[in-house]
């Protein structure tokens, strides 16, 4: 483990040395010596400004032999009926891109009671190898047998990187298995890249979206990353060229302390992630009653109403309609933001839209930096005018 060493003999001014730490982590112990407490954030300010008093010591254990870990693997999630979650294809496209940079194969893992057409689809979209764990015990997601299956795959194949969808199941599975291999996991990545050393460059927003954290796992394998649906684009369908490998687990590894008594399907509803057109309600909307106007615009365009975090916290719209780091990631063909300032947390969830139209009365609003079309003015004037023009065009046809 790396740490900062204090050279006590080099200290000339204890008070000045203590003041170097912006977190107040340097203090005197009972023996009158300076020591670094748990408040240290390893920012290394003390090293840069301490004049040799503080030294960085890296005594980390040597890393794994990276040559023994090959492949970029994707956990392809399916439902109990064998339907493939679309985030699996998006991850497969990114895996192909990453693997091509280092000459590694692309692997896909399917865990379920019925693989259905998922296997053939994964082959069609570029998987070199599809590993299938098919058993009645996998019909419903239960963390113990699913984690055992993914662990078995990793021990047998030794993939260098493992990409998991940021779904409810994926968020449970990835950390459980990463902990078993004592390796790193970066959640909700927005950018992934591969270095020549096979280290996966994982980038995600941090500190409320104020910075983009760049994370690596240079000493451990495999490298785990989860990615939300709609962050990456799905690849184009090609010709299948890969192979299918079927594996099974011992009976005791299929056991679980969770028993599924029944399964009640949710009523069908259109998710904002699937909508091709979105009209977003922001803080500039004055009253909840005014959302009716935005909903009318969305319906005329065949779309849905979405919102920023402030609107959801005010109780005006359901949390399922929130876009951003703490909401949903969307990639519609058209998004119209109404009274949205454009905070980085919000933009991170919608910047992949094909066309962004922003309506805001403040010409300096951040949303105009990412918008393709900017309308400076009062949304209460612009939105009714848009509705009137759309109605007129429809009547003319």
In this prediction, residue 210 has a pLDDT band, given cuts at 50, 70 and 90, of confident
Instruction: Please check whether residue 172 lies inside any domain of the structure.
Output: yes
Residue 208 above 80 pLDDT? no
Do residue 52 and residue 72 come from a single domain?
no
| Structure confidence by residue, pLDDT tens digits, 234-243 | 899 988 889 9
- The reply to whether 287 and 182 lie within a common domain is no
Q: What is the mean pLDDT of the chain?
A: 93
C-alpha 104/C-alpha 125 separation (Å) is: 16
Would you state the pLDDT for residue 207?
74
Q: Which residues pair with 74 in a beta bridge?
A: 108, 163
Handedness of CA 69, 70, 72, 76 (dihedral sign): negative
Query: CA torsion 213→173→227→75, rounded to 10°?
Result: 130
Residues 218 and 73 in one domain: yes
Does residue 189 sit in the same domain as residue 81?
Answer: yes
Task: Tell me how many domains the chain contains.
Answer: 3
What's the pLDDT at 270?
A: 80
48 in the same domain as 76: no
Three-class secondary structure of residue 248 per DSSP: coil
CATH number of the CATH domain containing 191: 3.40.50.620
Q: Give mean pLDDT, residues 26-45.
A: 91
CA–CA dist 168, 141 (Å, integer) = 10
Res. 60: pLDDT tops 70: no
- Is residue 265 scored above 90 in pLDDT? no
Domain of 53, CATH number, reads 3.30.70.20
Please tell me the distance from the alpha carbon of residue 206 to that of residue 215, in angstroms, as a whole number: 11
295 and 242, same structural domain?
no
Q: Both 134 and 77 in a single domain?
A: yes
Is residue 265 situated within a structural domain? Answer: no
Is the per-residue pLDDT at 61 higher than 70? no
Structural domain boundaries enclosing 168: 66-254
Nearest CA-CA partner of 241 in 136, 145, 162, 128? 128
CA 377, CA 370: separation in Å to the nearest integer?
Answer: 17
φ and ψ of 192, to 5 deg: -130, 140
For the segment 157-180, the average pLDDT, to the nearest whole number, is 97
How far apart, in Å, do the first and last CA atoms of the chain sit? 71
Render the burial of 61-72: b for 16+ CB within 10 Å, e for the rest: eeebeeeebbbb
Of the pLDDT bands very low, low, confident and very high (cuts 50, 70, 90), residue 303 is very high
Identify whether 163 is part of a domain.
yes
Q: Domain check: are 39 and 83 in the same one?
A: no
Q: Looking at residue 1, what is its pLDDT?
A: 63
Q: Let me know whether 30 and 81 are in one domain.
A: no
Could you report the per-residue pLDDT of 177-206, keeping only the tens digit for each? Answer: 999 999 999 999 999 999 999 999 999 988
34 and 83 part of one domain: no
Residues 153 and 215 in one domain: yes
> Which residues are bridge partners to 307 per DSSP?
281, 322
- Indicate whether 272 belongs to any domain: no
């Amino acid at each position: 483990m790396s740490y900062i060493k204090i050279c006590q003999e080099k200290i000339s001014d204890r008070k000045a040395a203590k003041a170097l730490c912006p977190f107040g982590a340097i203090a005197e112990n009972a023996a009158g010596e300076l020591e670094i407490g748990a408040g240290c954030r390893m920012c290394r300010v003390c090293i840069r400004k301490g004049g040799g008093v503080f030294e960085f010591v890296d005594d980390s254990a040597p890393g794994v032999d990276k040559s023994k870990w090959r492949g970029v693997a994707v956990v392809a999630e399916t439902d109990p009926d064998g339907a493939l979650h679309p985030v699996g294809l998006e991850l497969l496209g990114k895996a192909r891109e990453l693997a091509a940079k280092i000459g590694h194969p692309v692997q896909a893992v399917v865990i379920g009671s019925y693989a259905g057409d998922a296997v053939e689809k994964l082959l069609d979209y570029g998987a070199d190898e599809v590993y299938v764990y098919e058993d009645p015990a996998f019909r419903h997601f239960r963390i113990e047998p699913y984690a055992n299956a993914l662990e078995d795959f990793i021990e047998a194949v030794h993939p260098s990187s493992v990409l998991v969808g940021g779904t409810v199941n994926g968020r449970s599975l990835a950390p459980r298995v990463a902990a078993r291999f004592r390796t790193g996991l970066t959640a909700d990545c927005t950018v992934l890249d591969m270095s020549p050393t096979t280290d996966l460059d994982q980038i995600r927003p941090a500190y409320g979206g104020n910075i983009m954290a760049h994370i690596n796992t240079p000493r451990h394998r495999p490298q785990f990353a989860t990615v939300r649906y709609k962050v990456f684009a799905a690849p184009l369908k090609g010709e299948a060229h890969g192979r299918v490998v079927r594996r099974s687990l011992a009976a005791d590894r299929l056991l679980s302390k969770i028993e599924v008594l029944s399964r009640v399907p949710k009523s069908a509803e259109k998710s904002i992630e699937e909508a091709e057109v979105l009209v977003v309600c922001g803080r500039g909307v004055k009253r909840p009653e005014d959302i009716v106007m935005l909903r009318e615009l969305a319906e005329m365009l065949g779309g849905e109403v979405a919102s920023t975090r402030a609107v959801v916290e005010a109780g005006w719209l359901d949390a399922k309609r929130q876009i951003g780091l703490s909401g949903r990631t969307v990639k519609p063909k058209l998004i119209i933001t109404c009274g949205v300032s454009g905070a980085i947390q919000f933009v991170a969830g919608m910047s992949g839209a094909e066309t962004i139209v922003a309506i805001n009365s403040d010409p300096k609003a951040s949303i105009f930096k990412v918008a393709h079309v900017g309308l400076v003015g009062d949304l209460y004037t612009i939105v009714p005018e848009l509705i009137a023009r759309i109605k007129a065009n429809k009547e003319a046809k």
